[in-house]
Structure 1
Amino acid sequence: MPRLRVHNYSMSLDGYGAGPDQDEQNPMGVGGGQLHEWVFATRPGRAMIDQEGGSTGADADFFLQGVDGIGATIMGRNMFGPVRGPWTDEAWNGWWGEEPPYHHHVFVLTHHPREPLAMEGGTTFHFVGDGIESALEQAFEAADGLDVRLGGGASTIQQYLRAGLVDEIHVAVVPVLLGSGARLFEGIEDVADRYTRAELVTSPAVAHIRMTRDG
Structure 2
Amino acid sequence: MSKLRVNAFTLSLDGYGAGPDQTLQHPLGVGGESLHKWLVTTRTFHQMVIGKDGGATGVDDDFAIRSFENVGAYILGRNMFGPIRGEWPDDKWKGWWGDNPPYHVPTFVLTRYKRAPIMMEGGTTFYFVTDGIHSALEQAKAVAGGKDVRIGGGVSTLRQYLQERLIDEMHLAISPVLLGSGENLFAGLDMVKLGYRCTEQVATANALHVTIGRA
Scaled by the length of structure 2, the TM-score of the pair is 0.97
Q: Deviations over 1:114-145 (max 9, x none)?
A: 00000011100000000100000000011010
- 2-structure distance, mates of 1:30, 1:116: 30
Q: Where in structure 2 are the equivalents of 1:13-52 lying within 5 Å? A: 13-48=13-48, 49-52=50-53
Mark the CA change 1:201 to 1:125 in structure 2 (over 3 Å): closer, same or farther.
same
* Correspondence for 1:186: 187
- 2-structure distance, mates of 1:2, 1:192: 24
- 2-structure distance, mates of 1:170, 1:51: 25
- 1-structure distance, mates of 2:21, 2:129: 25
Scaled by the length of structure 1, the TM-score of the pair is 0.97
How many percent identity over aligned positions? Answer: 54
* Correspondence for 2:145: 144
Q: Aligned-pair distance for 1:191?
A: 5.7
- 2-structure distance, mates of 1:102, 1:176: 27
1:2 and 2:2 aligned: yes
1:103 and 2:99 aligned: no
- 1-structure distance, mates of 2:156, 2:193: 15
Q: Aligned-pair distance for 1:6?
A: 0.4
Q: Aligned-pair distance for 1:187?
A: 2.4
* Correspondence for 2:69: 68
- 1-structure distance, mates of 2:109, 2:188: 22
Query: Which 5+ residue runs of structure 2 have no aligned equivalent?
Result: none
Letter in 1 for 2:53: E
SS in 2 for 1:89: coil
Q: Is the 8 A contact 2:6 2:167 kept in 1?
A: yes
Mark the CA change 1:193 to 1:114 in structure 2 (over 3 Å): closer, same or farther.
closer
- 1-structure distance, mates of 2:127, 2:14: 33
- 1-structure distance, mates of 2:164, 2:142: 19
- 1-structure distance, mates of 2:163, 2:181: 23
- 1-structure distance, mates of 2:4, 2:181: 28
SS in 1 for 2:153: coil
Q: Where in structure 2 are the equivalents of 1:55-134 lying within 5 Å? A: 55-134=56-135
- 2-structure distance, mates of 1:13, 1:176: 6
Letter in 2 for 1:115: A
Q: Where in structure 2 are the equivalents of 1:162-177 lying within 5 Å? A: 162-177=163-178
Mark the CA change 1:22 to 1:192 in structure 2 (over 3 Å): closer, same or farther.
farther
* Correspondence for 1:153: 154
Letter in 2 for 1:99: N
* Correspondence for 1:212: 213
Q: Aligned-pair distance for 1:189?
A: 2.0
Q: Is the 8 A contact 1:74 1:108 kept in 2?
A: yes
Q: Deviations over 1:125-176 (max 9, x none)?
A: 0000001000000000110100000121111100000111000011100001
Q: Is the 8 A contact 2:163 2:194 kept in 1?
A: no
Q: Is the 8 A contact 1:164 1:191 kept in 2?
A: no
- 2-structure distance, mates of 1:152, 1:67: 14
Cα RMSD, aligned residues only: 1.1
Q: Aligned-pair distance for 1:188?
A: 1.6
Q: Deviations over 1:35-81 (max 9, x none)?
A: 11211101111112122221111100101111101100001000000
**How many pairs were matched up?**
214
